[in-house]
Amino acid sequence: MGLSNQGKTPGRTTLLEAVNTLLTNVGEQPVDSLDNQQIQDARIAESTILEFHREGQVRGWSWNREDAYPFERDTASGEVVVPANVVNFTVNPYQWDGRFIVRGQRVYDLSERTYKIDPAVCPIQADVVWLLDWDESPEAFNRWVTIRSARVFAARVLGDRGTVQYTALDEQAALTELMRVELDQAKPNSLTGGPSLRPFPTYEAGRGLLRGTFGGRVIG
């Protein structure tokens, strides 16, 4: 938290502005900086936003997912280390039959029961979902996270059903816009190719929508 989360990009909503949205939603005064950790409500508001910002990215979107990303073996340790901001790591099941998984930040070989990866199989390619910072995420996603966080923050701080009901309407509108932007960027169709969510490598027209799911249910 603090100054590291206050990056400013022209035309974009900053994390500070998002925090102030949550504060004003419950009748609290906005703050001038996230670096003042003595204001408890501001700390809770920032923590709530970052909680849902992480949660919202885990399933993967067109902007934080990469297919067949190569991971190289470290020659000194013999291990394949996955960056900490990778929140989903899936190897091609037809190529490796579930042989490689991630434990912590290291790739584990289930077949050989070791973290020492055979150099002959490297680089290991995997479909990954990256956890991006606030400023790296699309404005439509940050807007939806802000409104979603405002609803939860109001419920946690005030237990005010009236406020929660009001922001629930805004949340649905923000989600609708987010899905419109996602479909426009992913451009799913039945003619062009692309990797499937299922193991068989054919394209699915609903891929853009299916990626925007949480807890096994489609949002929206």
Within 10 A of 111 (CB to CB), how many other CB atoms are there?
A: 12
DSSP letter string, 84-153: TTEEEEEE-HHHHTT-EEEETTEEEETTTTBS---GGGPSEEEEEEE---GGGS-HHHHHHHHHHHHHHH
DSSP, collapsed to helix, strand or coil, labels residue 14 as coil
| List of long-range contacts for 182-189, beta carbons under 8 Å, 24+ apart | 182/61, 182/62, 182/140, 182/208, 182/209, 182/211, 182/212, 183/208, 183/209, 185/62, 185/63, 186/62, 186/211
In this prediction, residue 94 carries a pLDDT of 84
In this prediction, residue 32 carries a pLDDT of 92
Predicted confidence (pLDDT) per residue in 157-204, tens digit: 887 767 777 678 888 999 999 999 999 877 666 555 555 444 445 555
In this prediction, residue 185 carries a pLDDT of 79
In terms of Cα–Cα distance, which of 147, 140, 128, 220 is closest to 185? 140
Write the single-letter amino acid at 106. R
In this prediction, residue 205 carries a pLDDT of 52
Q: Which residues contact 135 (CB under 8 A, 6 or more apart)?
A: 7, 9, 12
In this prediction, residue 159 carries a pLDDT of 79
Going by the DSSP 8-state scheme, the letter that residue 32 receives in this structure is S
In this prediction, residue 156 carries a pLDDT of 86
pLDDT < 70 stretches in the chain: 1-10, 36-37, 161, 166, 187-220
How far apart CA 154 and CA 13 sit, in angstroms, is 20
In this prediction, residue 189 carries a pLDDT of 61
